[in-house]
Amino acid sequence: MTPQGWLAIGAYFVALLLLAKPLGEHVARVWSGEQTKLDRVLGPLERAIYRASGLRERADMDWKRYAKAFVLFHLVGTLFLYALQRLQGALPVGFGQADAIGPHSAFNTAISFVTNTNWQGYAGEAVMSPVTQMLGLGVQNSVSAASGMAVLAALARGFARRSASGLGNFWTDLVRSTVYVLLPSSIVLALVLVSQGVVQTFETRATVQLLDPIEVVASAPIDAQELVLGPVASQVAIKQLGTNGGGYYNANSAHPLENPTPASNVLECLSILLLPAALCFTFGAMVRDRRQGVALLVTMLVLFVPCVAAVYAAESGAPPALHAPGVDVAAGADRPGGNMEGKEVRHGIAASALWAASTTAASNGSVNAMHDSFTPLGGLVTLVLMQLGEVVFGGVGSGLYGMILFAIVAVFLAGLMVGRTPEYLGKKIGIFEMQMASLAILAPCAIVLVGTAVAVATPAGRASIANPGAHGFSEVLYAFSSAGNNNGSAFAGLNAGTAFFDVALGLAMFGARFLVALPVLAIAGSLAAKKTVPPGAGTLPTHGPLFVFLLASVVVLVGALTFVPALALGPIVEHVQMGR
């Protein structure tokens, strides 16, 4: 660890907090239907979408209608993206032809992008045409994020409204989130990335001369290389802002055409957490108590900052195998020191550690270093961030409504301790809300553990493991932790492109999306129908340090009780074995 590394990480958090508040206030105005500075430019586009889609009626929906629209939208998107991949080789397009995607891979990818997971069991530049990347994957990068934002908007209205049945209109929330939030921010970020050298073109190939030709024995030297091009910057922008993470290239954000400079690395990493952090301010504005949003954001930071420090510390220390006579593993003016395996020299350890923590905390899944090459303790932290439920920032919308579920559990526990009915934001928390919150919190845990157990217990699952032992188990556990919490990142070494893993992980992603979002909408509907209860002498303040501590403790406690035994079989055992 170096002072420069800590300074860069500190500057990152300062920039994040400075940008999050104004963006969050803007989103609150968008969801409330208020006038924004973008209305004059983007208002015609919003109205054109309504006319083209035939959306005339934009009245409030109750939670059941809102949920039906949410499910229908995802199902149609899945079918469309699956068909697009299967018909890719026959599409009448003028550039970037590619063969059709196999059925189980297309199934996995369709669910992956529609559920905002963006797990990729394929090399993007090798199998996906630019048309599929733009029309299929790029579109889902936007609308899958917007659908998560819509669910959060409905939950915020559930707390804010009194004796009401409506939660807003799903289609309006989806369109406005896309048009007024995701679209303009993506355009700005894409243009900045293009200025840094990220590719944005309809050309599919380019041949460049090598500065240092490669000598080949008994053959002519190789003096040229063919590069795969395409509309990369536009997809990189929305993949980061929408906490999607799917890369245009197989190397993702470690690829020099996706992330070429230190400036692009900082901007892309900052974009991962920007909207999840901003939505905390949005929630506070919508429930008319900004302190509540700040408390949720502080809880996320309390959990996140130690994880960043832990990854940085773990990767700054070299593995025992490098502590051999004559091997200097300390950082110096001419060397980064530490564990540089799987990391880009141009990024270094601090930037790689910050990105790894951010991407697994925010349900993003993009990588600028290979997580499989991290030390066991560094990899452990990335696993834990996902297994906490993707609520430490989490996905756009989904992360915050997941944290609010934990807040409901926290106030319920506080109510048990003082012997009174629990309340949160003026709404009494009853049996139904606790049942739905418990279902939404525990369903991803069950998906991860059951999926991992089946994979390591069956021949089809074990056949994909290239590294038997503790590390191989960690790779399987990471895969299902990623899919079961809609993250999308992966350890290498696991052949996840088989029929078994394509189907199993696809089902895990599908369940993780709907078994959380639908209970959240049910809670929103129940809360909207209730009256607001004024705070009394025994009411737990949910905006102070005590509540932040209680909430963070509940998140950690649920994760610890659920996953410590599995972690003990994987990264913890591997760390012990390395120290022998």
Each residue's pLDDT tens digit, 429-456: 999 999 999 999 999 999 999 999 999 9
The confidence band for 345, taking pLDDT boundaries of 50, 70 and 90, is confident
Window from 163-167, 280-284, 503-507 with minimum mean pLDDT: 163-167
Residue 414 CB coordination number (10 Å)? 22
Kindly state the average pLDDT of the residues 487-510.
90
CA angle 548, 296, 546 (to 5 degrees): 15
Give the per-residue pLDDT at 164.
87
Kindly state the average pLDDT of the residues 399-412.
94
Question: 292 near 283, Cβ under 8 Å?
Answer: yes
Kindly state the average pLDDT of the residues 153-162.
93
Give the per-residue pLDDT at 207.
86
Window from 88-92, 303-307, 548-552 with minimum mean pLDDT: 88-92
How distant, in Å, are the alpha carbons of 287, 307, 458, 538 from that of 411?
17, 25, 41, 12
- DSSP per-residue string spanning 326-386: T---S-BTTB--S--TTB-TTTHHHHHHHHHHHHHHTT----SB-GGGS-HHHHHHHHHHH
Percent of the chain with pLDDT over 90: 59
Give the per-residue pLDDT at 550.
94
Q: Angle formed by the axes of helices 470-484 and 376-387, to 10°?
A: 30
Window from 184-188, 344-348, 354-358, 545-549 with minimum mean pLDDT: 344-348
Token reading at 347: 């990024």
Q: Which of 464, 468, 472, 471 is nearest to 495 (CA)?
A: 464
The confidence band for 123, taking pLDDT boundaries of 50, 70 and 90, is confident
Give the per-residue pLDDT at 325.
63
Global pTM reads 0.92
Give the per-residue pLDDT at 267.
94
Question: 12 near 154, Cβ under 8 Å?
Answer: no
- What's the rounded Cα separation, in Å, for the pair 20 and 281? 8
Higher pLDDT residue, 95 or 12? 12
- What's the rounded Cα separation, in Å, for the pair 498 and 504? 10
Helix, strand, coil percentages, rounded to 5, for the chain: 65, 5, 30
Give the per-residue pLDDT at 57.
64
Which residue has tokens 């199993």? 504
pLDDT digits (tens, 9 = 90+) for 250-309: 888 899 999 999 999 999 999 999 999 999 999 999 999 999 999 999 999 999 999 999
3-state secondary structure at position 2: coil
- As a whole number, the mean pLDDT across the chain is 89
Please check the confidence at residue 145 and state whether its pLDDT lies above 90: yes
Per DSSP, which regions of 87-204 are E strands? none
Give the per-residue pLDDT at 299.
95
Please check the confidence at residue 347 and state whether its pLDDT lies above 90: no
At residue 228, what is the residue type? V
Please check the confidence at residue 226 and state whether its pLDDT lies above 90: no
Window from 68-72, 245-249, 283-287 with minimum mean pLDDT: 245-249
The confidence band for 99, taking pLDDT boundaries of 50, 70 and 90, is confident
Please check the confidence at residue 324 and state whether its pLDDT lies above 70: no
Question: 136 near 85, Cβ under 8 Å?
Answer: yes
Please check the confidence at residue 95 and state whether its pLDDT lies above 60: no
